[in-house]
Structure 1
Amino acid sequence: MEMLSDSEDDLCRAAAALRSGDLVAFPTETVYGLGGDAFNPAALAKIFEAKQRPRFDPLIIHIAEVSVLERVADLTALDAEMRKALDILSAELWPGPLTLVLPKKNSVPDLATSGLPTAAVRLPDHPVALKIIRYSTGAVAAPSANPFGYLSPTRAEHVAEQLGGRVDYIVDGGKVRVGVESTVLDISGRRARILRPGGMPRERIEELIGPVDTAAAEGPLPAAPGQLKSHYAPRTGLYLYSPEAMMAVPWNKSEAFVFFDGKFRDQWIAGNRLEESSGGVPANIRVLSESGSMNEAAANLFDFLHELDNPQYTAIRAVEVPETGLGPAVNDRLRKARAEAKDNPQPYQGQTG
């Protein structure tokens, strides 16, 4: 594994590695992705192997130009209304944290789509990602650069810690901006359906194309990434509470606590009389956003969970956030990270390689 900078020379090296079938982790605005040539089955197989990802979980194909979409998706198979929606969404929300599920071209390897007749595609809003994709093959499959089911990486060091020698190159572009994965919107049928809440708020999508459905997983296998009940999980058990229930949770110095805003944290501290005993805010408490900014909360979520996921804490106790803006995406990640979720087929086993 070699760490690269975001210099032009290093981005050209990363792109050349992708063209050669190697794996390159790089930043997007959402999380770090583990990239491989979307049209190279051998490179795709390396992604699944590196992540220990089950073959039934489809990948997201990243492009750098809307014109490349026709290499990946069969736009002639789209419903007329959904074709209009595609034109609007791609013009208004790309580049951005929105993945669109579309009928796929036969030239896309089945491994990229887990044998589904659809492909998940997005155009990321990050200069490093766009250059790497543009300089390489124009279409890069890039799931989050972490072992399957574990916390998503928001910094290059998270990738190095989790994947180690399983990845050929890591491009260090600093901390990502959005902090949660993209919203996945299926427009392959007659109605638009959100398959996974993410970095693009539902309200913004509906401003442009009208009401959209929310689709639960319809079978044992996912139609899009991030649909399994257990995902994004730390090794330390995470327990999730409503605000009302959280107020009854006592402070414990051997556990970690995650709050949405400073106001609620202060109420909880007062209820536990911590100021009287400790003289301040204990080090095992994190606040996603002091001011209650949902964008800041989303950006800090995985960063804080990485910090708290260490042997000094026996549990992480977190509170749900309001269901506005990126709130559904934050709560989705917290619910799937819960220790109570029992169906993670491959829990994180630690770094290898």
Structure 2
Amino acid sequence: MPLCRNIASSPSPLIAPTTPDEAGIARAAKALKAGQLVAFPTETVYGLGGDATSDTAVAAIFKAKGRPRFNPLIVHVADKEAAETLVDFDECARKLAEAFWPGALTLVLPRRNDCPVSLLASAGLHSLALRVPAHGVALDLLAEFARPVAAPSANPSGTISPTTASHVAASLGDAVALILDGGPCAIGLESTVIGLTGDAPLLLRPGGVTAEKVEAVTGPLDRPETGSDAAPSSPGRLLQHYAPARPLRLNAEDIIPGEALLSFGPHAITGAAAECNLSPGGDLTEAAANLFAMLRELDRPVHTAIAVMAVPETGLGLAINDRLRRATNPVATPQEPTP
């Protein structure tokens, strides 16, 4: 059974992605050294990379994304040793890095006094968000560039995160010097973010590593209450985030005429104008990998809104529901469809 039905074809991308072979990686590293932006794949989502040590390059990331300056960026490094030159590690950080790096876990740690990363990347905070990606293309690029790379998701701020090179090309176009095409992202959700600047580890953002796995290393995590849109202490903390243009209606049990449906599990609601099923078999890993791509597929002007069936709040479902809640458009009234 196809996972999506009644979906029109997408427009052609504005920029052709680059093959991430040795020559492509070299071109990308050269572009970064010239202060340009490069989109590259990770196991979570595609990143919009710039030289993390350059104020100008980091400012270009904010400009390309239209991103609020108070929202920190995640800095990607090649390995734990590179991370330790930028931030102060404690025992908890070392255990987490050993358990989950390379991987979908970001650690927010105190900056070292000699940290060369632009203060713009950490929004002027005395902390820095770091991770080592688990993707061959990303690691090859980091090795070739030999500097930290600031890289939020490669999409306009507040919109759906990209999980393919074509998503990046369609949304950012010539704002990037080139796009390294590593195929679809394996996880499809951003990294889990753990804050380690206080007395106890904080789950700042659920993501690709489940809270249960993290707690097996750290013990119980503190969970800060959802606040306002005031300056966030880590990436991914804005209340309005990951949003399609069409409003979302969560935990839907029926269909309002004109709505598309984002379903989950074998018993989908009938009557939707179009449908994508995150996982017909109810697999949360498959659902996470499909989430952003399917939101993009359903986010069409012909639909008034997107109805979303309930997803369990367990394991990766915690991260899926976090993204869906942050993607909920504040406009509650469905719009008239347009041709």
Describe the superposition over 1:180-233 as per-residue Cα deviations: whole angstroms up to 9, x where unpaired.
Answer: 100100011110001111111000001112111111355611111111111100
Q: Residues 177-326 of structure 1: matches in 2 within 5 Å?
A: 177-217=186-226, 220-241=230-251, 246-247=252-253, 249-250=254-255, 252=257, 254-263=258-267, 265=268, 268-269=269-270, 284-326=274-316
Identity %: 47
What is the rounded CA distance, in whole Å, between the counterparts of 1:339 and 1:209 in structure 2?
35
How far residue 313 of structure 1 moved from its aligned partner, in angstroms, is 1.1
* Alpha-carbon RMSD: 1.6
Describe the superposition over 1:30-51 as per-residue Cα deviations: whole angstroms up to 9, x where unpaired.
Answer: 0000000111111101000000
How far residue 108 of structure 1 moved from its aligned partner, in angstroms, is 2.3
Aligned to 2:327: 337
How far residue 90 of structure 1 moved from its aligned partner, in angstroms, is 0.7
Q: Flag the structure with higher helix content.
A: 1
SS in structure 1 at match of 2:207: coil
How far residue 320 of structure 1 moved from its aligned partner, in angstroms, is 2.8
Aligned to 1:32: 46
- Which one of the candidate residues 147, 159, 171 is aligned to 1:162? 171
How far residue 71 of structure 1 moved from its aligned partner, in angstroms, is 2.2
Aligned to 1:3: 17
Does the 8 Å contact 2:108/2:193 carry over to 1?
Answer: yes
- Structure 2-normalised TM-score? 0.89
Describe the superposition over 1:4-40 as per-residue Cα deviations: whole angstroms up to 9, x where unpaired.
Answer: 1121110111112112211000000000000001111
How far residue 236 of structure 1 moved from its aligned partner, in angstroms, is 1.3
Runs (5+) with no aligned partner, structure 1: 76-82, 275-281, 343-353
Letter in 2 for 1:112: A
Letter in 2 for 1:66: K
- Structure 1-normalised TM-score? 0.86
Do structure 1's residue 94 and structure 2's residue 101 form an aligned pair? yes
- Which one of the candidate residues 119, 137, 162 is aligned to 2:146? 137
What is the rounded CA distance, in whole Å, between the counterparts of 1:117 and 1:218 in structure 2?
20
Range with greater deviation from structure 2 (316-325 or 49-58): 316-325
Aligned to 1:351: none
What is the rounded CA distance, in whole Å, between the counterparts of 1:210 and 1:341 in structure 2?
39
How far residue 259 of structure 1 moved from its aligned partner, in angstroms, is 1.5
What is the rounded CA distance, in whole Å, between the counterparts of 2:50 and 2:111 in structure 1?
18
How far residue 341 of structure 1 moved from its aligned partner, in angstroms, is 7.1
Runs of 4+ in 1 over 3 A off after TM superposition: none
Does the 8 Å contact 1:18/1:137 carry over to 2?
Answer: no
Does the 8 Å contact 1:147/1:162 carry over to 2?
Answer: yes
Runs (5+) with no aligned partner, structure 2: 1-14, 333-339
SS in structure 1 at match of 2:330: coil
How far residue 93 of structure 1 moved from its aligned partner, in angstroms, is 0.6
Describe the superposition over 1:264-320 as per-residue Cα deviations: whole angstroms up to 9, x where unpaired.
Answer: x1xx33xxxx6xxxxxxx661221111111000000000101111111211101123
Aligned to 2:31: 17
What is the rounded CA distance, in whole Å, between the counterparts of 2:107 and 2:316 in structure 1?
18
What is the rounded CA distance, in whole Å, between the counterparts of 1:259 and 1:44 in structure 2?
38
Do structure 1's residue 63 and structure 2's residue 63 form an aligned pair? no
How far residue 3 of structure 1 moved from its aligned partner, in angstroms, is 2.5
What is the rounded CA distance, in whole Å, between the counterparts of 2:331 and 2:98 in structure 1?
38
Letter in 2 for 1:99: T
What is the rounded CA distance, in whole Å, between the counterparts of 1:87 and 1:66 in structure 2?
9
Do structure 1's residue 150 and structure 2's residue 159 form an aligned pair? yes
Describe the superposition over 1:99-142 as per-residue Cα deviations: whole angstroms up to 9, x where unpaired.
Answer: 00000124322101000110000001100001101110331000
Flag the 1:217–1:41 CA change in 2: closer, same or farther, 3 A: farther
Range with greater deviation from structure 2 (213-222 or 192-201): 213-222
